[in-house]
Each structure stands twice: as structure tokens, then as C-alpha cells.
Amino acid sequence: MCGIVGYIGAQQAQPILLDSLHRLEYRGYDSAGIAVVGDTLQVEKCAGKVSALEAKHPHFSGTWGIGHTRWATHGPPTDSNAHPFLDATGQFALIHNGIIENYQGLRQELVTAGVPLTSQTDSEVLVQLIARADKGDTLAAVRSVLNRVEGSYGIVVIHRGRQELVAARNQSPLVIGLSTGEQFVASDIPAMLRYTNEMVYLQDGQLARLTPSSVEISDLAGASVPLRSETITWNAEDAERGGYEHFMLKEIFEQPKAILETMLERVPDLDLGLETVRLPRRIRLVACGTAFHAAMLGKVLMEQIAGIPSEAILASEFTFSGAVGEPGLVIAISQSGETLDTLSAVREARRRGAQVVAVCNVMGSTLTRETEHVLMTRAGPEIGVAATKTFTSQLVALYLLAAYLGRRNRHLEAEQVSRLVAELRRLPRLVQGVLDNHQAIQMTAEWIASAKDAFFIGRQFNYPTALEGALKLKEISYIHAEGYAAGELKHGPIALFGKDTPVIAIVPKDETYAKMINAIRESGARGTPVIAIATEGDQEVAQVADIVIRIPESEPRLSPVLATVALQLLSYYVAKYRGCEIDKPRNLAKSVTVE
Ligand code: M6R
């Protein structure tokens, strides 16, 4: 999830590249760099923001070049891991967005051939391979290398003696901006909107050659593709949100990609890079807020899938818990990696000899620097204060981790692991199914929008989902909401139920189903409106609930991901209906760095 820009024309490239990179900064990147062709190929790059790059005072003269802002996935945010990358002979420079899945094999090939590599990234192998494949035609060299590459990429390549940009895309956005006597390319439209609004969306498997006066598109087989441009009518701010009204909505819709990227390279082999983690007798999962709800599901997964007794502990309560002094494994979950409560828990656990695995979305954050083992979620930058895509990515990371530990612990047969992994691989598609249902969810929001209180109920895997649904609703719509394990209703909360207290029940077709139906009946008997999140094709639930929001059928342990996406949409539309400031709810910060 990096930012890419490229320019070729008659103007000086450097100011345009830096300006375009600034326009991508709202996404919060960790490194920046540019390469400009003049008399030579000039490169400047560093860890930090675009301002850190500018502070190095590059003064590059030249009319074509590329620029990049990085969101680290392979290798921490350092100067050497920043893009652009040069090949060993300094002829080519490349920027890349995405993940090269088979990079280890390609990297080994380069090492064996004696090619010196300067970074820990998957991206650098591409430029080295392109240079080795080059016979005087950059486009042909890029095509031949991409035919060997597995994974996602948006790339732009320049050569110091050829006046052209070569771009290619697979599962990573790349848009070409057309103008007279100059052309642009970028991963995001806002980077170019100041210069042109005539855009060509490159499709997966397509390559483009840009010169000041022409743009040609072809596919990986070499066949040429007609150029079709569109005129963009958004303003710059709309464009940053990709046409979505709020970042939260955009991020909800980015979940199929975030989940896919979190799994890339890691399945089917469960290659998590955690071989040096010692198998624990006991696991403690620590986190705050939404990440704590991931920890709660994680506890169940570690016990069921890995066969290891586990406990989820609020990070802010960790030092007071009896478990604080135990050795064993601590799994610390944090989107930002900067939440002080979580960091304090981790520091205390490490001081007492525990090994720690961090599940984190920001590489280079304090959490990733202070822990020996890191399992990155790859959701990309999350701007909305309410956690959405990072939560479901955390769940995916925990499924992978539980399956990995379960295999090592011999709690699962190889066949069971493969079945779970196969189900996981279907998740992006199933999540897309929930998103495709957004209009029905939007219509349901009206039912809740005037309520003062709402109750979310679920059992087993979906008890944490109920808590997360309630948190999401309260933080962005300011409706008081509580999440309960459905079995608890009769022990107290049902005293509050009546016609003004909607109940949102998570009722997938799994072993909790019959008891969930009973809980819905008990609620309905108090006149409470009930909205059920239920499996497609389930007819029975419609007889007891007032409204049914459908989610696709899935392996029961994965239903929390699907139900969560539906609940995120529901909260979003309720908040919108109530006119709330969705991306920046009152009193909340994206990252809580105080105890
Ligand atoms: O960055 P972290 O995941 O450590 O943040 C933890 C919580 O502050 C965070 O999940 C918070 O609850 C979100 N606002 C929830 O939407």
C-alpha cells in the first residue's frame, strides 16, 4: 500500500514529483524517495515523511522521473529500504507498490549470480532482474520479468538513457494522467489532479510506455490494448477518499484487499517467519479497544486450533493480572503499534521473561521495534478513527498464527490445517459478498438511527463480534450500545429491553444457532425490534427476527469476519443518518499514546 508517482514532459520533474508525493501524504507513509533523469540518473530517498526527503535538499535537473512513498511490508522503514531502487549498474530505477510473493526464489537467483542487493525488500529484486533481462528495450525487459513474477504490483521503471516511463499493474492500482506534451502516472488520482483530470485506468496484467507525446498500452503477452481515458470530475479532497464520502467507508470497502494482502506469501504453507518462537504452554493476548476484541477471538482460536490454553487480557489491566509474571508467549495486538497501554504490557511481560509476538499494522512502530517477533497485518494506512480493515486483518493474522501453532503443536492434522487455509483463502470473496449487500444494510440503519440504546448479542466466536459491533456503533453514532454473550441476557440486561431498544443478533448457522434463536425469541417477547445477521438461505431466522441482514455461508470460525463487515456498514450508515462526524468522532484519537 505505497504511493507511486511518475512524470515525463517538458517541465522540471523534481517539483512535480515532490508536490504529487505531498498529495498522497494524508495516507501516512513511512519513507519517501525520488529519481530524476538528467545528465545522469539521480536518486534521493530516506525513511520519514516527504519533508524529510526535502530536508536533504535534492536539486535534480531533468524532465522525467519517479517518486515513491512507502508503507513498509518487507523490511523496516530505513533509508536503504526506501524506493526508488537502482540496479547494480545504475542504469535503471524502479518504484513498486504491492507484494512479490515468489521474491525469495528470485532473490536467491540473484544472490547466486553474484548480484549485490542493498535492501531487505521484495521490490529490489525486480529492478535487478529487469536490468539483467534488458536488451535495449525497457518495456520488453519489464514484460519478460513480470511473466516470472507472482504477486501484486504497481511499478514504474526508468532508464537513464531512454526518454520514457514504463509502468505495469497487477492487483495494485495504477492510473495514467494524460496531458499535452507531458504524461503522469500514479497509484492514486489525487497525486495528479492538479495537473490533469484525463485519466486512463491501467488494468491487471497491463503495461504502459509513456513518452512526452504518447502513451501505449499492451498486455503481458505483448498484444496492444486500446487507450480509453475518462474525465475525472471529483475535487482533490473527494479523490483522496477515492470517491467515497468518508475514509471509514473507503476502508470498509478495502477489506477484501487488506485480507488478501495479509495472507499473501503466507498461505498455503503458513510461512509466517516465526520459526524461532518457542512453543508455549500458555498464551496471553493483550490489546486495547477493537484490537482487544481481536484478542478475545484469538484466545478461542489459540485454544481450539492450536490446543494451547490462552487468556485475553486488556493491556491496561495486564500488570494487575495474576498472569503478569508467567513466562510463555504474549501476543500483543495493535493497529498503530503506539498504544501506550499495550506497549507498557509488552515491556512488563518482556521484563519478566516472556516471549512476545506483535500483531501490528505499522512496520517501524514502537511495538515492532521493541518485540523480537512480528506478524504484520497488511491493511495499509487507516485514516478513519474507527478501526475497520485493520480489525479484520488482525483476525486473519490470528487465524494464520493459530493454524501455524496448531500444526507445530501437532494439535491439528495436516488435512485439517489445509482445510482451514482453503477456507481462509475464500474470505476476500465472501467479504466482497457482504459489501455487495450494502444497500440492504443501509436501509436497515434507519431502524436504529433514532434509538438511545442498542444491544448486540452473539455467542462463542461471535461474542467478540457483538462487543466490536457495539463499540463501533457507540464511537461513531454516539448511540449507547452494549455487547453481550447472548446467554447473559436473562441474567440482567433483559430488564432494559423494550420497543425502543433494538437488538442486533449475530446468528450464523453453527452450533450456537438454536440457542441464538431462543435469545431472539426472548428479546422479541419484550417487544424489542430484532435485526439478525444471519447466513444466506436460512429461512427460519426470518420467522423470529424483524429484519435479516445476510452474510455468506462460511466455515463457522470465520463468520466473525463476515458479521463484523456487516456491522461496520450498519454503524456507518446509522452515523451518517444521524449526521455525525464519522471519520473523527468526538473525544477520540486514532492512536492513544497516554496511559
Ligand atoms: O492502535 P491500536 O490497535 O493499539 O488501538 C487500540 C484502540 O485504541 C483502538 O482499537 C480503538 O478502540 C479504535 N478507536 C476502535 O475503533
Give the 3-state secondary structure of 338-407: CCHHHHHHHHHHHHCCCEEEEEECCCCCHHHHHCCEEEECCCCCCCCCCCCHHHHHHHHHHHHHHHHHHH
Is residue 28 predicted with pLDDT exceeding 70? no
pLDDT of 267: 93
Q: 128 or 3: whose pLDDT is higher?
A: 128
Residue 290 CA to ligand 1 center (angstroms) comes to 5
Quickly state the pLDDT bin for 425 (edges 50, 70, 90).
very high
CB 180 within 8 A of CB 168: no
Is residue 396 predicted with pLDDT exceeding 70? yes
User: Partners of 485 in the beta sheet?
Assistant: 458
Pocket probe mutation, ligand 1, options 331, 335, 366, 478, max atoms within 8 Å of Cβ: 335
Q: 550 or 369: whose pLDDT is higher?
A: 550
pLDDT of 27: 67
Q: For residue range 488-501, what is the model confidence (pLDDT) as tens digits?
A: 999 999 999 999 99
> Is 56 labeled as catalytic in the residue annotation?
no
Q: For residue range 557-588, what is the model confidence (pLDDT) as tens digits?
A: 999 999 999 999 999 999 999 999 999 888 88
The CB-side HSE value for 445 (13 A sphere, CA atoms) comes to 23
**Segment among 326-340, 425-439, 452-466 with least mean pLDDT:** 326-340
The grid coordinates of residue 17 equal 514529483
Give the three-state DSSP class for 532: strand
The grid coordinates of residue 238 equal 473527494
Residues with CB under 6 A from ligand 1: 288-291, 334-336, 339, 342, 385-387, 475, 588, 591-592
182 vs 412: CA distance, rounded Å: 58
pLDDT of 516: 97
Catalytic pick among 2, 46, 360, 580 = 2
pLDDT of 369: 86
pTM assigned to the model: 0.81
CB 73 within 8 A of CB 99: yes
Quickly state the pLDDT bin for 188 (edges 50, 70, 90).
confident
User: CA 206 → CA 39, 102, 176, 225, 265, distances in Å?
Assistant: 30, 20, 12, 8, 23
Is residue 217 predicted with pLDDT exceeding 70? yes
Residue 293 CA to ligand 1 center (angstroms) comes to 10
Residue 391 CA to ligand 1 center (angstroms) comes to 9
Q: Which atom of ligand 1 is nearest to the CA of 339?
A: 4
Q: Which residues make Cβ contacts (< 8 Å) with residue 479, sequence separation at least 6?
A: 448, 451, 452, 453, 454, 473, 574, 578
218: nearest Cα among 145, 154, 168: 168
Quickly state the pLDDT bin for 83 (edges 50, 70, 90).
very high
CB 481 within 8 A of CB 501: no
125 vs 390: CA distance, rounded Å: 28
User: Partners of 284 in the beta sheet?
Assistant: 311, 330
Residue 594 CA to ligand 1 center (angstroms) comes to 13
**Segment among 164-168, 320-324, 485-489, 515-519 with least mean pLDDT:** 320-324
Residues 505-530: what's their mean pLDDT?
95
Give the three-state DSSP class for 77: coil
pLDDT of 238: 67
CB 326 within 8 A of CB 356: no
**Segment among 155-164, 193-202, 505-514 with least mean pLDDT:** 193-202
Q: For residue range 274-316, what is the model confidence (pLDDT) as tens digits?
A: 999 999 999 999 999 999 999 999 999 999 999 999 999 999 9
Residue 584 CA to ligand 1 center (angstroms) comes to 13
pLDDT of 1: 63
Q: Which atom of ligand 1 is nearest to the CA of 290?
A: 10
Quickly state the pLDDT bin for 106 (edges 50, 70, 90).
very high
Catalytic pick among 250, 452, 499, 590 = 590
Pocket probe mutation, ligand 1, options 251, 286, 288, 365, max atoms within 8 Å of Cβ: 288
Residue nearest to atom 11 of ligand 1 (CA): 289
Residue 292 CA to ligand 1 center (angstroms) comes to 8
Share of the chain above pLDDT 70, in %: 98
378 vs 308: CA distance, rounded Å: 26
Domains of the chain as residue ranges with CATH: 3-237 (3.60.20.10), 241-427 (3.40.50.10490), 437-582 (3.40.50.10490)
274: nearest Cα among 402, 124, 411, 418: 402
Q: For residue range 326-382, what is the model confidence (pLDDT) as tens digits?
A: 789 999 999 999 898 999 999 999 999 999 999 999 887 889 989 999 999 999 888
429 vs 124: CA distance, rounded Å: 31
Mean of all residue pLDDT scores within the chain:
94
User: Partners of 165 in the beta sheet?
Assistant: 210
Residue 322 CA to ligand 1 center (angstroms) comes to 24
Residue nearest to atom 10 of ligand 1 (CA): 290
> Is 2 labeled as catalytic in the residue annotation?
yes
Is residue 171 predicted with pLDDT exceeding 90? no
Q: Which atom of ligand 1 is nearest to the CA of 588?
A: 14
Pocket probe mutation, ligand 1, options 247, 248, 339, 367, max atoms within 8 Å of Cβ: 339
pLDDT of 242: 81
